[in-house]
Structure 1
Amino acid sequence: MPTSFCGTWDIISNVNFEGYMIALGIKTPLRKIALKLKQRKVIEQQGDLYIIKTISSFRNYTISFKIDQMFEEYTKGLDERVVKSVVSWQGNKLVCEQIGEKRNRGWAHWMEGDKLHLELYCEGEVCKQVFKRKKPTEKL
């Protein structure tokens, strides 16, 4: 059985986020804002439906999917593209392939100890983020 990533997670490190955003074609003013934000992930599972919410004080993004089922994803608020996405379990990693005008685009989530890891990749750029589980009394 795959690991459950369900919970609320706060970002603790964010390496090469700007390089990843440049690869996506995100303009400089938006990149400057995004680099200053503290992200929070809320991951839920309702039956076979997964919901991942990325929350910040500037903009929120929600994705929902079923494992191994391709779906159309509009990356509203990110790079404003429509991609075909499919998420699958590869060992202990939850891996998403996003097919569209950008090459080698997607992400992977996995856990190591009590940390949630996320790699975002696009056209050779890789952003590595690490999150810690939020305690019930902590605020963003």
Structure 2
Amino acid sequence: MSIRWVAARMTRQEVLRRQPNPLPMHAILSEASLRTEVGGADVLCEQLDHLVAQSRLPNVTIQVLRFEAGAHLADSSGSNGPCVEVRDRGVGVDVRDSKAPEAGMLSFAPAAWDAFVHTIKTNTCRP
């Protein structure tokens, strides 16, 4: 990996935290991308930690396209297939079905969300 490549990548990440105008980011990730190990379990866990940290920024929204959606082109979660939206409000985390936002959302206290993420990481990242 070249130094220029790393520098370019770090610069891209800085725009999410710049002040006064952080770049808004809306990412849709397939569930498979959150479970696929590239570089081993420790690397995957670090990547998941990074995604959790980024999701806590007020300008960042991360959605997960679940396996049940099947092969799917995700364009703002598309017109079919299940997808959830996760939003950290600082005082808690909200999760809702982006296909049916009128159905309400689940709200987690920070400790409950952290426990949930820990459980996913433990079951996914550790044998």
Report the TM-score, using the length of structure 1 for normalisation.
0.27
Report the TM-score, using the length of structure 2 for normalisation.
0.29
Whose strand proportion is higher, 1 or 2?
Answer: 1
Whose helix proportion is higher, 1 or 2?
Answer: 2
Relative contact order, CA 8 A, sep 6+: which one is greater? 1
Q: Which has the larger radius of gyration?
A: 2
